[in-house]
Amino acid sequence: MLLALVGISDYNTNRPENLGGSMATFLVTESNAWDRTSVENLVLELLGKLLGEEPGNLRVRLTSEGIQMPIDSLDMFDMLQEFRQITGIRVPVRKLGHRTLRSVSAFATFVTEETSK
């Protein structure tokens, strides 16, 4: 049994001791949930959250601008941490390189190749 990410949403509790956070919604599935397309979609969700942009609009913008990763290395490591929390996939940081992080597509390909080994 595998989990597929359905969406990520922010919430606010309006309580000073707990201001809120993000919540991921998953769907249980029997298929390989983390194929290249699923990873791309999740990365776009996470990037959209970081940049305050809708994932669909972000995909269009990145495609028209050459699909370069629109964040710096510090934001990238924050995104990788959240990616791991959601998927359970540990991305081997030492294997990440400039080519791997240059685009959403290259990152998704790297992750799916690493997890299929």
Percentage of the residues of the chain whose pLDDT score is greater than 90: 5
In this structure, the number of other CB atoms found within 10 A of the CB of residue 30 comes to 7
Let me know if residue 27 belongs to a domain. Answer: no
- What CATH number does residue 69 fall under? 1.10.1200
Let me know if residue 16 belongs to a domain. Answer: no
pLDDT in tens, 49-100: 998 988 888 888 887 776 677 888 788 888 888 988 888 888 887 888 878 8
Let me know if residue 96 belongs to a domain. Answer: yes
Total domain count, the chain: 1
Q: ∠90-117-38 over CA atoms, to 5°?
A: 60
Residue type, 33: A
Helix and strand numbers (H, E) in the chain are 4, 2
Q: Is this model's pTM higher than 0.95 or not?
A: no
CA dihedral 81, 86, 88, 94 (to 10 degrees): -20
Residue ranges making up the domain that contains 65: 33-115
* DSSP secondary structure letter of residue 104: H
Let me know if residue 28 belongs to a domain. Answer: no
Let me know if residue 2 belongs to a domain. Answer: no
b/e burial code for range 89-99 (CB count within 10 A of at least 16 → b): eebeeeebeee
Let me know if residue 26 belongs to a domain. Answer: no
